C-alpha cells in the first residue's frame, strides 16, 4: 500500500475497507504493508522514495497506490530539485518495476449522464473506452536540464522512444482490443514528431498480426477534440506517455469526475500497480469528501490482473454500480435529490453491497 499524500490515504482506506469485505466474503487473506512515497517520504526521509522501499515493493504481488504530491505553487516540496520532488518517487517506481502499460478505462454509467458535461445528444449514447498509455518512456524519461546558453536560460526535455518500447505497448493494446470491440485508435503527432512516425509505422506492422482488429491513426489535437465531440467512437485509445496523461484526464471528466477513473500499471507478468488516475487533490484533502470509486475500481483491477480473482473483481464492480443506482454520491458527482456521502461512507456502502 502506498497511500501517499493529500486525499491518497482517504481513498486508499476506503479501498481497504472494500478489500477486507472481499477477504471475509470469499475467505481470502491479504497481507497489507505500507510504504511511504511522495511528499510524506520527503518529510520522513528526505527523499520521495527510498531504494529499500523499491526493493521491498519488488517482493510483493501488487501495489495499491493513492496519489502523491502537493500544491505545486505553494508546497515547500516544489522548492526542491526536480529529482527530489514527490513526482520523482512515482516515476522511479514505475521505471524500476518496469510498469510500461497503463490502462485507464473511461466508462459513462447511465445513472451519471447528468454529470457528463457534454450535451445530452452526445451523453445519451454513453461510451466505454480504455486508454492504453505507454508509461515508462517518452518525454517523462528523456534527459532534461536547464543551462545558461549565450546569457539566457535554456531548458530542454528529450522525447525518446525505442522500437522495443513502442512494440510492446502496441501489442498490449491489440491484445486488449481483441477482448473488447476490436478497434484501436492510435493517437500520435506524426505530422511533426519523428517518435510519432516510428510509433505509427510499428502500429501498422503489428496490425498485420491482428487482422480482426480495426486500426485507425488519429493526430492528438484531433483526438482531444473527438473525445468531447463523439466519445462513443472510441474503444481502445493507444498512445504515448504524455499524450495519454493529458487525454486520460480529459476522458475522466466526460465520465462525470476524475474521481471515477481507475487505472492499472502493468508489465508482462502478473505484477501491477493500481491507482486512481487523478492526483492528491490538495484543494479537498483532509475533508473526507473525495470520491474513492476510482481507487476502489483500481483495487478490483488488482484482484483481476494480479491475483486472478475475476469473480471478486466483478463483485466489487457490481457493488459500485449498485451504490450508484441507489443514488449515493460524493460531492463531485452529486446533484440535488441524490444522497450525499463522504469518502469513508462510500467505502462502507460499497462493501455492504458486495
**Strands of 174-231, DSSP E:** 183-188, 214-219
Identity of the residue, 8 or 21, whose beta carbon is nearer to ligand NAD in the bound complex: 8
277 sits near ligand IPM (criterion: CB under 6 A)? yes
Identity of the residue, 12 or 90, whose beta carbon is nearer to Mn ion in the bound complex: 90
Tell me, yes or no, if 235 is annotated catalytic.
Answer: no
CB of 224 to ligand NAD, least distance (A): 17
Considering only residues 80 through 119, tell me which ones interact with ligand IPM, judged by CB under 6 A.
87, 90
Tell me, yes or no, if 249 is annotated catalytic.
Answer: yes
> Exposed/middle/buried for 68, CB within 10 Å: 0-12, 13-18, 19+?
buried
Tell me, yes or no, if 189 is annotated catalytic.
Answer: yes
235 sits near ligand NAD (criterion: CB under 6 A)? no
Count of residues making up the chain: 354
134 sits near ligand IPM (criterion: CB under 6 A)? no
Cα 287 to Cα 17, 281, 291: the distances in Å are: 18, 11, 11
280 contact choice in ligand IPM, ligand NAD, Mn ion, none (CB below 5 to 8 Å, kind-dependent): ligand NAD
List Cβ<8 Å contacts ≥24 apart for 308-316: 308/270, 309/22, 309/26, 309/28, 311/26, 312/22, 312/26, 312/28, 315/22, 315/25, 315/354, 316/18, 316/22, 316/350, 316/354
Considering only residues 43 through 82, tell me which ones interact with ligand NAD, judged by CB under 6 A.
67-70, 72
Which is catalytic among the residues 51, 221, 230, 308? 221
Number of residues that bind ligand IPM (CB under 6 A): 5
**Strands of 15-143, DSSP E:** 62-67, 101-107, 128-134
Identity of the residue, 22 or 49, whose beta carbon is nearer to ligand NAD in the bound complex: 49
For the chain, the 3-state helix, strand and coil shares in percent, each to the nearest 5, are 45, 15, 35
259 sits near ligand NAD (criterion: CB under 6 A)? yes
132 sits near ligand IPM (criterion: CB under 6 A)? no
SS3 153: strand
Tell me, yes or no, if 140 is annotated catalytic.
Answer: yes
Out of 69, 70, 137, 347, the only residue in the binding site for ligand IPM (CB under 6 A) is 69
Cell for 325?
443506482
Asked if residue 68 lies in contact with residue 239, where contact means CB atoms within 8 angstroms, the answer is no
Which x/- pattern, by CB under 6 A, does the window 208-247 give for ligand IPM? Answer: -------------------------------------x--
Considering only residues 240 through 259, tell me which ones interact with Mn ion, judged by CB under 5 A.
245
Listing DSSP states for 45-62 in one string gives HSSSS-HHHHHHHTTSSE
Catalogue the active-site residues.
Answer: 140, 189, 221, 245, 249
Residue ranges for the binding site? Answer: 94, 104, 133, 221, 245, 249, 279-291
Sites of contact with ligand IPM (CB under 6 A)? 69, 87, 90, 245, 277
Sites of contact with ligand NAD (CB under 6 A)? 7, 11, 67-70, 72, 87, 90, 257-259, 275, 278-284, 290-291, 294, 332
Amino acid at each position: 500500500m502506498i497511500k501517499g499524500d493529500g486525499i491518497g490515504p482517504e481513498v486508499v482506506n476506503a479501498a481497504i475497507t472494500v478489500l477486507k469485505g472481499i477477504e471475509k466474503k470469499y475467505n481470502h487473506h491479504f497481507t497489507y504493508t505500507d510504504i511511504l512515497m511522495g511528499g510524506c517520504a520527503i518529510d520522513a526521509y528526505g527523499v520521495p522514495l527510498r531504494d529499500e522501499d523499491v526493493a521491498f515493493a519488488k517482493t510483493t504481488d501488487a501495489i495499491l497506490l493513492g496519489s502523491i504530491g502537493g500544491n505545486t505553487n505553494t508546497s515547500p516540496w516544489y522548492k526542491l530539485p526536480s529529482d527530489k520532488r514527490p513526482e520523482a518517487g512515482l516515476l522511479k517506481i514505475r521505471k524500476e518495476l518496469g510498469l510500461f502499460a497503463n490502462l485507464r478505462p473511461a466508462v459513462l454509467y447511465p445513472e451519471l449522464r447528468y454529470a457528463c458535461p457534454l450535451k445530452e445528444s452526445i451523453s445519451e449514447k454513453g461510451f466505454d473506452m480504455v486508454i492504453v498509455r505507454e508509461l515508462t518512456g517518452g518525454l517523462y524519461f528523456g534527459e532534461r536540464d536547464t543551462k545558461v546558453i549565450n546569457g539566457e536560460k535554456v531548458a530542454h526535455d528529450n522525447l525518446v522512444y525505442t522500437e522495443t518500447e513502442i512494440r510492446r505497448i502496441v501489442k498490449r493494446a491489440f491484445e486488449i482490443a481483441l477482448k473488447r470491440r476490436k478497434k484501436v485508435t492510435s493517437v500520435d503527432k506524426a505530422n511533426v514528431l519523428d517518435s510519432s512516425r516510428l510509433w505509427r509505422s510499428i502500429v501498422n506492422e503489428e496490425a498485420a498480426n491482428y487482422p480482426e482488429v480495426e486500426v485507425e491513426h488519429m493526430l492528438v489535437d484531433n483526438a482531444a477534440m473527438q473525445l468531447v465531440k463523439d466519445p462513443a467512437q472510441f474503444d481502445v485509445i493507444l498512445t504515448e506517455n504524455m499524450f495519454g496523461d493529458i487525454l486520460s484526464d480529459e476522458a475522466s471528466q466526460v465520465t462525470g469526475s476524475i474521481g471515477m477513473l481507475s487505472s492499472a500499471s502493468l508489465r508482462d507478468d502478473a505484477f501491477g500497480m493500481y491507482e486512481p488516475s487523478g492526483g492528491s487533490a490538495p484543494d479537498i484533502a483532509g475533508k473526507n469528501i473525495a470520491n474513492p470509486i476510482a481507487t476502489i475500481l483500481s483495487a478490483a483491477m488488482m484482484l483481476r490482473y494480479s491475483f486472478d480473482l475475476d469473480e471478486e473483481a466483478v463483485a466489487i464492480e457490481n457493488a459500485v454500480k449498485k451504490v450508484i443506482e441507489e443514488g449515493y454520491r460524493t460531492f463531485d458527482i452529486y446533484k440535488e435529490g441524490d444522497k450525499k456521502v463522504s469518502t469513508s461512507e462510500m467505502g462502507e456502502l460499497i462493501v455492504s453491497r458486495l
